[in-house]
Amino acid sequence: MKALPLFAAALVFTLSASAMAHDPSEKITVLQEQLLKNAPGKKAMMIEVDYQPGQSSIAHKHEGTAMAYVLDGEVISQVKGEQAITYKKGQFWYEPAGSEHLVSKNASSTKPAKLLVFMVLAPDEQVLIPLEN
């Protein structure tokens, strides 16, 4: 197994710290980060998001394109201009770059939920930008 480069390790810490700033029960883990040889100026990331029962993310947007897959439990997701949808284990959705993700939360108040998020973005773009109220 290859060790994560120092910048990736710093990103893991940054993402975890920002998640803990708004709710210590949300856990964000960068599983992989790789510059794309066939798409110069872009990188791909695989991120795991663990929600405790009843837990939600802050409203945010991503500078890059995101695709999410529910690994466990059920997650409610709503992108600005669309209806909130409850996704169950094995279901997935797509968010174009710049989409405002208004709701992302565990649908259950008793069971945890887990997402696998795949993103494509420029190396200098932010993974998550909190939205102002």
Question: Each residue's pLDDT tens digit in the chain (133 positions)?
Answer: 444 443 444 444 444 444 444 445 579 999 999 999 999 999 999 999 999 999 999 999 989 999 999 999 999 999 999 999 999 999 999 999 999 999 999 999 999 999 999 999 999 998 889 998 6
- What's this model's pTM, rounded to 2 decimal places? 0.79
Q: What is the pLDDT of residue 25?
A: 54
Strands (DSSP E) found in 4-125: 27-35, 43-51, 60-61, 65-72, 74-79, 85-88, 92-95, 100-106, 113-121
Q: Which amino acid is at 64?
A: G
Residues with Cβ within 8 Å of 7's Cβ and at least 6 positions away in sequence, in order, are none
Query: What is the structure's pLDDT at 6?
Result: 38
